[in-house]
Amino acid sequence: MLVAPLMSPIIGIGAGSISGDTTLIKNAISALLRGAILSIVMSTIVAYLNRFFPIITWQELPNEILSRTRPSPLDLTIALAGGLAAAYALATPSLSAALPGVAIATALMPPLCTVGIGLALTQWQVAAGAGLLFVTNAVTIAFASMLIFFVLGFTPTNNLIGKLPKPLIYSALFTLSLLIPLTLFSASVFKKATESIQINSIVSEEVSVFGAEISRLDVSEDADGLHLSLTLRVSESLTYQDVNRLQRRIATRLQRPVSIIVNQIFVVRLNPLNPPTLTPTFTPITLTPTFTFTPSATPTTTPTPTFTSTATPIPPTLTPTPWSAILQNGLQRLEILQQPGGPSIGIISSREIVQVFDERQVYDGLVWLKIVDWEGRIGWVPQIHLVFVTITPTRTATTTLTPSSPALSP
């Protein structure tokens, strides 16, 4: 696009029209048509082959393409400014036409490539919108160049209407006539944008009644009405009756048929927690006795006690059991992530028991738990996919030997 291959033909059309050079006009129109057709054909071939050899994958058209399918009067104004700058730069030897060439290249080549992409994907609305943008830019740039050349004196005196040349007047009228389809197209786009804002506002308000939040909203429309696909963040599952009520409320406010698909993401909301205040504790000073020698009596022979082993029951102690969990019914496998949103470090299978740590994090609207599987791998999984299993504690009794009353020997 930096080469601006279509800049010279369009400005040549303007120069030939204002000067009455029919040969220049024919050559410029021929070069413009060849360049435009070649651009459309090449972009169509590349976009069509991309369907079989996907170099670029997309689920929907990117904004760079969609922005070229909605021309407006603002695009005509931008093209007029670019054409004025380019024509003046070409007519003035001391100035460089590089910067205006870039402006014209960005106004002409992307719409032509978008036309080819629309044809390859059989999206005629995309091709038509981009084609209208190209025609608008080309005609406006040619008119701007004619205006500059007229001001600089490139005008024969035998082809005037009053003080203005006929080609300049005709070009101005043709450029102004383009405002009609551009205005209608802009009004249609504005109407759709207004409807989209209204739908988003109504759906958000009705969803909040059920204590949910919208994570994603996809809207499509056909002859049967609106089709809404909602992804909601909920703390409690919405029942079929709740979804049915939601559909009726949205349809009533929009006053049109509405079909609805609801996907639910369970989240845990925690209120802000104030940390406890740390208070110093008093540590009393303890006196440690020191060893001293004291006189003692001479030891005499005394009977030696003997110990008899007796079984003394000790109260049973509870053996703590781990906090364990298994996968939800129907879920065959689940990836263990190194951290929430991080890389995968392993997979746990259905009915495999894992131990859950008392650590959790909230990431992307989901509650994540820290677990360890039977292989000793420690990672994180969403809480929504686990079912907690309680293992009943077992009681154990321990037998110990304690000394009984000493028996004196004779």
Q: What is the per-residue pLDDT across 303-313, written as a single tens digit (0 to 9) for each?
A: 555 555 555 55
**Total number of domains in the chain:** 3
Mean pLDDT of the chain: 79
3 state DSSP class of 287: coil
Determine the average pLDDT of the residues in 95-99: 60
> Is 42's pLDDT higher than 90?
yes
Are 20 and 138 in the same domain? yes
Are 63 and 115 in the same domain? yes
Residue 37, pLDDT score = 94
Q: For residue 48, what are its two tokens?
A: 């069509």
> Is 398's pLDDT higher than 70?
no
Are 49 and 196 in the same domain? no
Are 92 and 52 in the same domain? yes
Residue 110 is assigned to a structural domain of this protein? yes
Residue 46 is assigned to a structural domain of this protein? yes
> Is 404's pLDDT higher than 50?
no
Are 249 and 382 in the same domain? no
> Is 41's pLDDT higher than 90?
yes
Taking the C-alpha atoms of residue 31 and residue 351, their distance in angstroms, rounded to an integer, is: 70
Are 133 and 45 in the same domain? yes
Residue 66 is assigned to a structural domain of this protein? yes
Are 199 and 53 in the same domain? no
More confident residue, 58 or 52: 52
List the domain range (segments joined by +) for residue 331.
Answer: 324-394
Are 242 and 96 in the same domain? no
Percentage of the chain surpassing pLDDT 70?
Answer: 76
> Is 407's pLDDT higher than 50?
no
C-alpha closest to that of 257 among 304, 286, 295, 224: 224
Evaluate if pTM is beyond 0.75.
no
Residue 256 is assigned to a structural domain of this protein? yes
Residue 19 is assigned to a structural domain of this protein? yes
199-207 contacts, C-beta under 8 A, 24 or more apart: 199/226, 199/228, 199/254, 202/250, 202/253, 202/254, 203/228, 203/230, 203/250, 206/246, 206/249, 206/250, 206/253, 207/232, 207/246
pLDDT tens digits, 175-205: 888 889 888 888 888 888 888 899 999 999 9
Taking the C-alpha atoms of residue 216 and residue 233, their distance in angstroms, rounded to an integer, is: 10
Residue 271 is assigned to a structural domain of this protein? no
Residue 185, pLDDT score = 82
Handedness of CA 258, 264, 265, 270 (dihedral sign): positive
51 — pLDDT class (breaks 50, 70, 90): confident
